[in-house]
Amino acid sequence: MAVDLDKLQQLLLNKLRERFGDAIIDLTADRGELTLVVDRKPIVAVMTMLRDDPDFQFNFLSYLTAVDYLALGRTPRYDVVYQLYSIPKTHRLRVRAAVPEDDPTIDSVFPVWRTANFIEREAYDMFGILFQGHPDLRRILMPDDWEGHPLRKDFPLGGVKSFYFKRSSDPHAGEPKDLVPRIRVQESDI
Partner 1 sequence: MTKRVVEQTWSNLEAMTINMGPQHPSTHGVLRIVLELDGEVVTGIKPMVGYLHRAKEKHAEFKTYHQFIPYTDRMDYLSPMSNNTAYVMTVEKALGIEITPRCKYLRTLLCELARISSHLLWLGTGALELGAMTIFMWGFTEREKIYDIFEFISGARFTVSYMRVGGVCRADYPEWRRRVREFLDGFLPVIDEIEAMLNENEIFIQRLKHIGTVSGPDAISLGLTGASLRGSGIDWDIRKDTPYLAYEEVDWEVAVETAGDCLARYFVRMKEIRESHKICRQVLDLLERHADEPVNIDNPKIIFPPKDNVKKSMEDLIHHFLLASEGFKVPPAEVYHSIEAPKGELGFYLKTDGGPRAYRLGIRSPSFINLQGLESMCQGMLLADVVAIIASLDPVLGEVDR
Residue 25 in the binding site for partner 1 (CB under 8 A):
no
CB of 83 to partner 1, least distance (A): 5
The C-alpha atoms of residue 137 and residue 140 are separated, in whole angstroms, by: 9
Q: For residue 157, state whether it binds partner 1 (rule: CB under 8 A).
A: yes
Count the site residues for partner 1 by CB under 8 A. 39
Q: Does 71 bind partner 1 (CB under 8 A)?
A: yes
Residue 101 is a binding residue for partner 1 (CB under 8 A) = no
Using CB under 8 A as the binding rule, whether residue 49 contacts partner 1 is answered as: no
Task: Single out the segment in contact with partner 1 by CB under 8 A; choices: 11-19, 97-105, 118-126, 169-177.
Answer: 118-126
Q: Indicate the residue among 19 and 94 with the shorter CB distance to partner 1.
A: 94
Task: Write out the binding residues for partner 1, residues 161-190 only, by CB under 8 A.
Answer: 185, 189
Three-state helix/strand/coil letters over the chain:
CCCCHHHHHHHHHHHHHHHHHHHEEEEEEECCEEEEEECCCCHHHHHHHHHHCCCCCCCEEEEEEEEECHHHCCCCCEEEEEEEECCCCCCEEEEEEEECCCCCEEECCCCCCCCHHHHHHHHHHHHCCEEECCCCCCCCCCCCCCCCCCCCCCCCCCCCEEECCCCCCCCCCCCEEECCCCCCCCHHHC
Q: Looking at 14-22, 101-109, 113-121, 166-174, which segment touches partner 1 (CB under 8 A)?
A: 113-121
User: What residues make contact with partner 1 under the rule CB under 8 A?
Assistant: 1, 30-31, 33, 35, 59-63, 65, 67-68, 71-72, 81, 83, 87, 90, 92, 94, 113-115, 117-119, 122, 126, 139-143, 150-151, 157, 185, 189
